[in-house]
Chains A and B, each alone.
Chain A
């Protein structure tokens, strides 16, 4: 009964490759996010979708392309991977109107290592 799930948990790949990370939430939330957490633990927002529509798009290289086929899924595709892309990527979701307004529920994270 995992609330927010991500696959894969670990991803090791060579520079220049293209990879995808998948995220699914079964909480019925309308909004989903992607965060990047670097080695210094800083949580940086990358994208946010609300009901499949992009609402936040931070200054992220266009090699990163999010895709939301429905409001329960938000996938992240990364082209031409670079060493600096190595990080932990967290998916999260939230829903307005719950008792803990704006609480974001995070997935377990995907540790991406680019060699």
Chain B
């Protein structure tokens, strides 16, 4: 099955700086890559996703890039703010398949 690796496991950044989280996946058939954000004590929520037919997608301060050849994708957060502090999960799946393979999560701490 699909195996998603996520690193680093924790990341501390100064407010206003950028944060980058990288994930790798094993199954070349995977074609859908979402990112979920989980604030402390809350539920995971989808923040951005990308399909394999595009290399980059942006939504305000967040962006995701995908390198299909290398089988890795990254989440970029610019101008970080304290409310960006959370655990971020990457995931991979094949569209039409209900199973999402989650990475182990990355704790991002934005230092004011």
Measured between alpha carbons, how far is A58 from B9 in the docked complex, in Å? 25
The number of chain B residues touching the other chain, given as a range, is: 20 to 34
Measured between alpha carbons, how far is A96 from B45 in the docked complex, in Å? 17
B residues near A109, Cβ cutoff 8 Å? 43
- Report yes or no: B89 in contact with A43, Cβ–Cβ below 8 A: yes
Task: Specify the chain A residue showing the minimal Cβ separation from B95.
Answer: A101
Decide: A48 near B43, CB < 8 A? Known: A41-B105, A100-B49, A102-B93: no
- Report yes or no: A55 in contact with B98, Cβ–Cβ below 8 A: yes
Q: Which of B34-69 contact A (CB under 8 A)?
A: 34, 38, 42-46, 49
- Chain A count of residues within 8 A CB distance of the other chain: 23
Known: A56-B98, A102-B98; 4 extra A-B contacts, CB below 8 A, are A40-B104, A43-B44, A90-B43, A101-B32
Residues of B at the A interface (CB closer than 8 Å) are 32, 34, 38, 42-46, 49, 87, 89, 93, 95-96, 98-100, 102, 104-105, 107
